[in-house]
Structure 1
């Protein structure tokens, strides 16, 4: 009803890596877009940053996922597949829920080698929970590069 107040939000890569289509993620919750629309990044770095300006609205107790909300858009960054099973091992949280962040602020550091050694897939879905994305970029990306609009 009041969607005319909603503005386009640019979303930036939270990590260095290779952007893939969400359909390539092995977890059906993400690949079928049940959790929302977005892309996935195969990370080459363990430094994960905020993809937008906003407030951290959620951090899983196991530190493997966080969400940031800004200008009416909520972005979920889910680091790896089945990484919840690691119970926080390999993740170092640097920010907490409720903190205001700017795009590019470091939120969590991840030991990607440890995750790989446990057999976990490190592909990282970047999800918009309730709106479609547009102008998605694919291929090599550096943290802070534009990846899509909402």
Structure 2
């Protein structure tokens, strides 16, 4: 029992796709903040379905007030941002149905949100969804996914490793 109390948290982890869709390299995202990696390194998904799932085992750190983004922290401390669409903060929550709250524990594949990609696209917003490693000073990415399409909760988009 005491052995589990002092068990070291795994710092290295695989991140699975939070959405089913077409994979887009971050440099190709049509938004400079993401394409120039100002927020951090990562990858993006052009969603083909509305369900957003947890890409890692960890905790929900922040559900943005405008519901367009969710940040998570892995058990090892890596911080991940899922930013549903571009400029979607302006929608003030319309098109997003969040299923989790700050502090919730999540496992890979757990339902985080429903993202109404048709409604968002009909309002002339891009649905492409960046998935960003926020604390790149402490962690790095490797084995970045290069296939065309990823399945939510199944395909590993990249490996996160402590520096």
Per-residue deviation, 1:6: 6.7
**How much is the aligned-residue C-alpha RMSD, in angstroms?**
1.2
User: How far, CA to CA, are the matches of 1:98 and 1:35 in structure 2?
Assistant: 22
Give 5+ residue unaligned stretches, structure 1: none
Q: Name the SS for the 1:133 alignment partner.
A: strand
Q: How does 1:101-120 map to 2 (within 5 A)?
A: 101-120=106-125
Per-residue deviation, 1:133: 1.2
Q: Where does residue 6 of structure 2 map in the other structure?
A: none
Question: 1:69 aligned to 2:78?
Answer: no
Give 5+ residue unaligned stretches, structure 2: 1-8
User: How far, CA to CA, are the matches of 1:38 and 1:11 in structure 2?
Assistant: 10
1:87 to 74, 83, 92: 92
User: How far, CA to CA, are the matches of 2:78 and 2:130 in structure 1?
Assistant: 16
Q: Where does residue 141 of structure 1 map in the other structure?
A: 150
Q: How does 1:1-150 map to 2 (within 5 A)?
A: 7-70=11-74, 71-131=76-136, 132-138=140-146, 139-144=148-153, 145-150=155-160
Q: TM-score, normalised by structure 2?
A: 0.87
Per-residue deviation, 1:127: 0.2
After the TM superposition, list the runs of 4 or more consecutive aligned residues in structure 1 that deviate by more than 3 angstroms.
none
User: How far, CA to CA, are the matches of 1:99 and 1:130 in structure 2?
Assistant: 20
